[in-house]
Amino acid sequence: MLKFAKSQPVLFISALAALGTMLIVPPDKGYADYINYTVLIQLFGLMTAVAGLRSVGLFDRLTEILLSKAGTVRRLGAVFILLCFFSSMLVTNDVALLTFVPLTLLVCRAIPDEKSRILMIVLETAAANLGSMLTPVGNPQNLYLYNEFQLTALSFVQTLLPAGIIGGAVLLLLNMMLPNEGCSGASSSEKAKIRAIPAAGYGILFVICLLTVFRVLPDWACLLAAVAIGLAFDRKLLLKVDYALLATFVCFFVFTGNIARIDAVSSFFSRILSGNEILVSALLSQVISNVPAAVMLSGFTDKGTALLLGVDLGGLGTIIASLASLISFQFYRKAENARPVKYLAVFSAVNFGMLIPLLLIHIFLLHN
């Protein structure tokens, strides 16, 4: 139990929360209405498609092409920031960081300045969190809220684009703190090879997933395509799907469904959220991370865009505000000559330095 809690802390906590509320609201027919099956199917399809595209070497090849032009530490930092920012819009912030942080550590072996390595990883982590907020498929909470509140693509972009643009510009300015000196190791002598036929299959699956997200195709088409393409090209790929994330969503669906049926608790959350959706969701994200915060609070407000903005901005701040940030930290912590305390100090300074102004600006605009 302890080993499971350490390896999957969010799932463990969400399971305990669900079980706790089940003691108050015993299982009945109403439980079936808690689950948002659309979100689960779309997440499954997207994770299968992205895992497949990674397995065929597509990301490696694209990275090699983009890094081939980087000749200085500062330019290398800008390349990684842009890679994480734009790739996270389609492949999620988790996948962007799983792909580019290890590569950053590999390339930065030729850079003796540890402060530069820390700043580069912190900036690309923030870039992945900011870029992922700009599309419904960029992160799990976006996909959930986009479906839960039946948002349109236009309202989604209008809500988050200003914060994304401002945040991205600030990151590029902060990148100027990196030294403008030459670096080696930014390119590889061996070119990554892409397996064309599987890549085409996974690409088709990814397009089907996007069409499902934007409600052009039904959910069952996404599910059937994911299973069929996974079985056709690599059966083991279906085992690489993050089932812990899917289980976490189910647990929080049960938790929030039961909470909504407890009058006193439901009234409390509805009262504190009213008019304060951005602030409350951003603050709660600092403690339990933005994915469970989105699921937990969605049942107590009808202001989906405000909640969406709050949890996405809430991904900045503490190291646990976005679970994607923990991916970067774990990679760095295990690296040679790592300085975790220094990393956390830089991470906190950059993230809170962006979170507080962005939060204040959007709260001011909302109330004026």
pLDDT at 186: 46
How many domains does one find in the chain?
1
As a whole number, mean pLDDT of residues 194-222 equals 89
pLDDT at 192: 61
As a whole number, mean pLDDT of residues 271-300 equals 88
Cα torsion at 50, 254, 256, 314 (round to 10°)?
A: -20
Residues 333, 142: contact at Cβ < 8 Å?
A: no
Determine, yes or no, domain membership for 46. Answer: no
Determine, yes or no, domain membership for 200. Answer: no
pLDDT at 191: 62
Reported as a pLDDT band with limits 50, 70 and 90, residue 185 is: very low
Q: How many CB atoms lie within 10 A of CB 175?
A: 23
Determine, yes or no, domain membership for 190. Answer: yes
- Range name among 22-26, 140-144, 145-149, 193-197 with the lowest pLDDT average: 193-197
Q: Could you give the C-alpha distances from 187 to 70, 77, 145, 347, in angstroms and in order? A: 8, 14, 40, 27
* Confidence check: pLDDT of 324 > 90: no
Determine, yes or no, domain membership for 347. Answer: yes
* Confidence check: pLDDT of 187 > 50: no
Residues 279, 367: contact at Cβ < 8 Å?
A: no
Identify each DSSP E strand in 43-160 by its residue range. Answer: none
Structure tokens that stand for 294 in this block: 């989105």
Reported as a pLDDT band with limits 50, 70 and 90, residue 263 is: confident
Q: Is 182 helix (H, G, I), strand (E, B) or coil?
A: strand
Who wins on pLDDT, 170 or 210? Answer: 170
pLDDT in tens, 74-114: 888 898 999 999 999 988 898 888 888 888 887 776 666 78
pLDDT in tens, 143-162: 999 999 999 989 999 999 99
> How many percent of the chain have pLDDT more than 70?
93
As a whole number, mean pLDDT of residues 315-324 equals 89
Determine, yes or no, domain membership for 6. Answer: no
Determine, yes or no, domain membership for 277. Answer: yes
The whole domain housing 120 covers 57-194+242-366
As a whole number, mean pLDDT of residues 256-285 equals 85
Which helix (H) or strand (E) is 310 found in, with range? Answer: helix 304-313
* Confidence check: pLDDT of 118 > 80: yes
pTM greater than the 0.85 cutoff? no
As a whole number, the mean pLDDT across the chain is 86
Determine, yes or no, domain membership for 124. Answer: yes
Determine, yes or no, domain membership for 285. Answer: yes
Who wins on pLDDT, 279 or 267? Answer: 279
* Confidence check: pLDDT of 168 > 50: yes
pLDDT in tens, 33-43: 888 888 889 88
* Confidence check: pLDDT of 316 > 80: yes
